[in-house]
Amino acid sequence: DHLPALLAAMPKAELHMHIEGSLEPEMIFALAARNGVALPYASVDALRRAYAFTDLQSFLDIYYQGASVLLHEQDFYDTAQAYLARAATDNVVHAEIFFDPQTHTARGVPMGTVIRGLSRACAEAPQKHGLSATLILCFLRHLSEREAFETLETALPFREHFIGVGLDSSEVGHPPEKFARVFARCRELGFRIVAHAGEEGPPDYIWQALDVLKAERIDHGVQAVHDAVLMRRLGAGRVPLTVCPLSNQKLRVFPDLADHNLKALLDAGLCATVNADDPAYFGGYVNDNLRAVAAATGLTARHAYQLAANSFEASFADAAAKARWR
Ligand code: ES4
Ligand code: ZN
């Protein structure tokens, strides 16, 4: 069976990963020691044992706690650098990386510290690791639209360091329309637009992400299968879905990985891609996700090729880069 080798070797873009979710337990402990941050876990193993999630919120509580070890520009640089080095081993040739500034500014970390550290690692990635990397600033949807506006304003002095904005954190109860005005402003400013929708939330949240926020990609979007009209819209518009199989398994979006609907999305002609989401928390990087979902759901070489092609089509890279990847 050559499919695992094909999935690993094929060049790909990664479009849905949260840099804070790439902090491995060993890295969390090393940064905590370096920065004198106290952790409520006795050891790396004790922390890893706490990664027993039952839904999105139970994950987010631990994920925000893990991010609390990031204080200095070097911490953000080291975190991004470690992810980019690891992604290169999965034959990722282009990465669009989410970051959650409000998780850090709420603890008193300046916006410039966050963005400069991450951006420096991205800028060095072509020479250092042979891949291109850009940043997407995500607003935390459990916070207010006012706080999102304040975050945008604080980030604008660094606007050349990120290409787009997204929406993440606790989905249910925080519909995309809550952020209509701040996303309108982001569009005026020329930012690319993505949003998490239809991870745990209903198809209506995907409609809102498309029609209210004007999202160009939907992060997750797996609940779209429950709305036939929406499926036709996503297919006809070639609206990409950045799917994260191991995340969906760990957060019990599907009872079992064998129940995952990635193959159904691909067979319906949608531009679905496979991504790691939070690789340190969900049991693997992008190739681990590809291998696991392919084995559990019976993907073919044709599906593998389509996933790689979709990842490049869905990326915000320029036309010249896309032509090179064809
Ligand atoms: C996230 Cl899996 C997921 N869903 C929503 N927001 C997130 N932030 C980090 N991982
Ligand atoms: Zn995500």
- The one-digit pLDDT tens for each residue of the chain (326 residues) are 899 999 999 999 999 999 999 999 999 999 999 999 999 999 999 999 999 999 999 999 999 999 999 999 999 999 999 999 999 999 999 999 999 999 999 999 999 999 999 999 999 999 999 999 999 999 999 999 999 999 999 999 999 999 999 999 999 999 999 999 999 999 999 999 999 999 999 999 999 999 999 999 999 999 999 999 999 999 999 999 999 999 999 999 999 999 999 999 999 999 999 999 999 999 999 999 999 999 999 999 999 999 999 999 999 999 999 999 98
* Ligand 1 atom at minimal distance to the Cα of residue 282: 2
Cα separations in angstroms, 122 against 53, 103, 115? 31, 20, 10
Domain hosting residue 162, numbered range: 3-316
Residue 211 lies in a domain: yes
Dist CA 113 CA 35 (whole Å) = 15
pLDDT at 30: 98
* Assigned domain for 22 exists: yes
Nearest 10 degrees: Cα torsion 309, 248, 96, 229:
60
Query: What distance in Å separates the CA atoms of residue 250 and residue 229, rounded to the nearest whole number?
Result: 29
Pull the structure tokens for residue 28.
């969390």
Alpha helices in the chain (DSSP H): 3-9, 25-35, 44-49, 56-66, 73-89, 101-105, 111-129, 145-155, 180-188, 203-211, 228-236, 245-250, 262-267, 279-282, 286-297, 301-314, 319-325
Whether 199 is a known active-site residue: answer yes
Q: Is residue 95 part of a domain?
A: yes
Taking the C-alpha atoms of residue 11 and residue 7, their distance in angstroms, rounded to an integer, is 9
Residue 7 to residue 69: CA distance in whole angstroms: 34
Is the CB of residue 200 below 6 angstroms from any atom belonging to ligand 1? no
Tell me if 219 CB under 6 Å of ligand 1.
Answer: no
What CATH number is attached to the domain comprising 257? 3.20.20.140
Look at strands 241-243 and 272-274 and give their pairing.
Answer: parallel
Shortest-distance ligand to the CA of residue 169: 1
Tell me whether residue 273 is in a domain. Answer: yes
pLDDT value for 1: 85
Number of structural domains the chain divides into? 1
Q: Which of 14, 73, 96, 199 is catalytic?
A: 199
Residue 14 in contact with ligand 1 by CB distance below 6 A: no
Cβ atoms 269, 302 nearer than 8 A: no
138 CA: nearest ligand 1 atom: 8
Six-digit token string for 280: 């340190």
Choose among 295, 271, 148: nearest CA to 221: 271
User: Which residue among 54, 136, 169 has the greatest number of ligand 1 atoms within 8 angstroms of its CB, and so is best to mutate?
Assistant: 169
Other Cβ atoms less than 10 A from the Cβ of 55: the count is 14
Direct distance between the N- and C-terminal alpha carbons of the chain, in angstroms, rounded to an integer: 25
The residue nearest atom 6 of ligand 1, judged by CA position, is: 169
Residue 323 located in a structural domain: no
> Residue 47: which of 21, 19, 25 has the closest Cα?
25
Q: Is the CB of 56 within 6 Å of ligand 1?
A: yes
Residue count (the chain): 326
pTM for the complete prediction? 0.98
C-alpha span between 70 and 76 (Å, rounded)? 7
Residue 326 lies in a domain: no
Question: Which residue is closest in CA terms to ligand 1's atom 5?
Answer: 169
Could you identify the atom of ligand 1 that is nearest to the CA of residue 20?
9
> Which residue has tokens 């392919």?
294
